[in-house]
Chain A
């Protein structure tokens, strides 16, 4: 099993540009979580899905952020327009609901200049 795969690993973009982060879940997992990590705020849950349906997006900071699960194995997190304060490491994680723990990806380090 390849684990949770995130792309890109690093992204540097200019303020105002659209950024799309991608995540491929582990086969058989039905829950997907997006987290953001900064030194100041630690690990924050942005949104999570069960069976492709968004369950809780209360952590999404503002309307500039959106997330989708077009199918059971793939998700995107989009920021449009991006701002310097969005600079962080973004992690996605998946799990099979009710079984064991989460498996996290390696993260995407986003820098908005």
Chain B
């Protein structure tokens, strides 16, 4: 699976959009981009994933650049409960279905 690079930490004001970047310049054509988050003392939580097209669900939006070398997770209206470590993972899927977590980005939402 391709390696990802994320900033170690970011801050966001409550009610504003949080935009979390991820670089995955070595991604191959059949690899998906997954986002998870881990709130303190809880298990990681799946947020969203995508291959080429932008994706949106009730939690967030995922924007993938046309060359697929980077992506951005958008939390449109961040709340204090969104303070967590956010992990961007590139993964092929299929039969080799294991995810490797890096260090992620600690997002702190401030009042």
Contacts and interface: CB of A to CB of B under 8 A. Distances in A.
A106 B43 contact: yes
Nearest to A107: B43
Contacts of A33: 98-99
Interface residues of B, number: 19
Interface stretch (A12-20, A62-70, A71-79, A96-104): A96-104
B8 interface: no
A50 interface: yes
B45 A104 contact: yes
Contacts of A4: 43
B103 A42 contact: yes
A25 B34 CA distance: 21
Contact of A101 (B42, B46, B94, B101): B46
Given A31-B97, A45-B98, A56-B98, A100 B49 contact: yes
B102 interface: yes
